[in-house]
Amino acid sequence: MSAHEDTIRAASEVIAELGASIFARGLTPGRTGNLSCRIEDEIVVTPTGVSLGSLDPCRLAIIDLAGRPVRGGKPSKEAVMHAALYRARPAARGVVHLHSTHAVAVSCLADIDGRSALPPLTAYFVMRVGRLPLVPYFAPGDPALSVAVEETAREHHAMLLANHGSIVVAEDLLSAADAAEEIEETARLWLLLREQRTRPLADAQLTALAERRQA
């Protein structure tokens, strides 16, 4: 087996393990959600019609950066979004897309700010997610959704898809999962707090966090 195949095999194991953990914790229901890793110019992505809770690492799909199937299982129709994110951020190596309940709930709110769907309630949200834009609604698999996601990803590594869920691209799969979980937790907090006055982090506190990240 080539070194490339070894790396794909190792990434597939990580995807299956993370998928089981995400599913067990109720972070994406049924057969929703998809995970991927980029290995050189190939993307290992979860196949269509399989729950993240029962992934077989030997049966994941491999696609190219244009989103075309290369070998392995049949990719999810959402896999083209993953390819779009890797094209927008060439250094990225992991993508997590979840239909987690509270993030989906926020993505359905009528009065949401499209530039920033969730306020900076906690330092971890600011550090792992930053500003979270809302991508307008398109049907899953619609090529226009991939175009919108690719454009948004040039400036933001995490986004909320209207009436759909969250998607995050990061330097590795586990960092993408951390950010997707942070979006879900912050969405849950925000829904708990929405009827009350909140005190999000102030501009000076946000600037101090940004300076610490660069230090």
Residues serving a catalytic function are: 78, 124
The neighbour count for residue 30, using CB atoms within 10 Å, is 10
d(CA 135, CA 137): 7
d(CA 214, CA 205): 15
d(CA 165, CA 180): 10
Pairing state of beta strands 158-161 and 134-135? parallel
Give kind and range of the element (H or E) at residue 134: strand 134-135
Q: Is 18 helix (H, G, I), strand (E, B) or coil?
A: helix
Report which of 182, 185, 142 is spatially closest to residue 161, judged by C-alpha positions.
142
The neighbour count for residue 157, using CB atoms within 10 Å, is 22
Q: Is 114 helix (H, G, I), strand (E, B) or coil?
A: coil
